[in-house]
Amino acid sequence: MKLLIVEDNPALLDMISTHLRERGFVVDAVRTGGEALERVGAASYDAVVLDLGLPDMDGMDVLRGLRERAMVPTLILTARDGLAHRIAGLDGGADDYILKPFDLAEFEARLRAVLRRPGLRAPPYPSFGDLSFDIACHAARVGERNIELTPREATLFEALIKNGARIVVRDMLADRLFGLADDVSANALDAIVSRLRRKLAMLESRVSIETMRGIGYRLHDGQDAR
């Protein structure tokens, strides 16, 4: 799962980002509305956490801008109290609203609830060939057999299975897996692909991950060849 956190308070941004990374999320952290809109236009996120009080833009304008660029679930953070703001936030397309100061455990629970809501784009159990992906349990599945995936394996598997036989390019996968992190070695993506291949083999799936050299990866349903 990849998240964009928009918060101008550096200490709070760091605390939220660190907490979510420890929980296995891939987190891009930005401090302004302008950066948020730029990132949302350039990458795809599973959810956005948006502080309404930003230095460069009104948070409600950022929310509208996000909505114009992507149908991404949004959790609003704000110190502004009062019903009027809450209604404005929800009317503006926010999926939930949390008032500062907040407890990190509550924040994470609300964020997970936003992520669980049926999206406009994705079916709950994407599938390809004999494989399916149980997003909520982070598990790959063949028939009755399940295997649990690590957060990064799950992010990779989700991208591949949602694209089926279409090629998913390496840059897009690296962006989803590692976000804005520096120093990602070229081998890091290959290592995750190798681990996911081993797990699919353990499930005895007839689907395999094909390497398109220099381009990316795609799934191949072994039954097609028979």
Helix (H, G, I), strand (E, B) or coil at 219: strand
- The edge-to-edge listing of strands for the beta sheet with 207-212 is 168-169, 216-221, 207-212
**Residue 4 C-beta: closest distance to Ca ion, Å:** 15
DSSP annotation of 53? B
Q: Are 50 and 60 in contact (CB under 8 A)?
A: no
Of residues 131, 136, 144, the one with CA closest to residue 196: 131
Choice between 53 and 65, CB closer to Ca ion? 53
Residue 51 lies near Ca ion (rule: CB under 5 A): yes
Tell me the window of 24-32, 50-58, 62-70, 123-131 that interacts with Ca ion (CB under 5 A). 50-58
Among 41, 96, 29, CA closest to 66? 41
User: Nearer Cβ to Ca ion, position 32 or 150?
Assistant: 32
Least distance between Ca ion and beta carbon 86 (Å): 17
* The only residue of 53, 93, 119, 164 in contact with Ca ion, by rule CB under 5 A: 53
Residue nearest to Ca ion (CB): 53
Tokens of 7: 């918060």
Bond before 101 cis per omega within 30 degrees: yes
The count of residues interacting with Ca ion (CB under 5 A) is 3
In the shown chain, the binding pattern of residues 9 to 48 toward Ca ion, with x for contact by CB under 5 A and - for none, equals ----------------------------------------
Least distance (Å) between residue 5 CB and Ca ion: 12
Rg of the chain on CA atoms, in Å: 19
Please state the closest distance from residue 208 (CB atom) to Ca ion, in A: 47
- Given a contact cutoff of 8 angstroms between Cβ atoms, the answer to whether 113 and 96 are in contact is yes
Tokens of residue 117, six digits: 């809501």
Binding segment for Ca ion (CB under 5 A), chosen from 1-9, 35-43, 174-182, 195-203, is: 1-9
Q: Where do contacts with Ca ion occur on this chain (CB under 5 A)?
A: 8, 51, 53
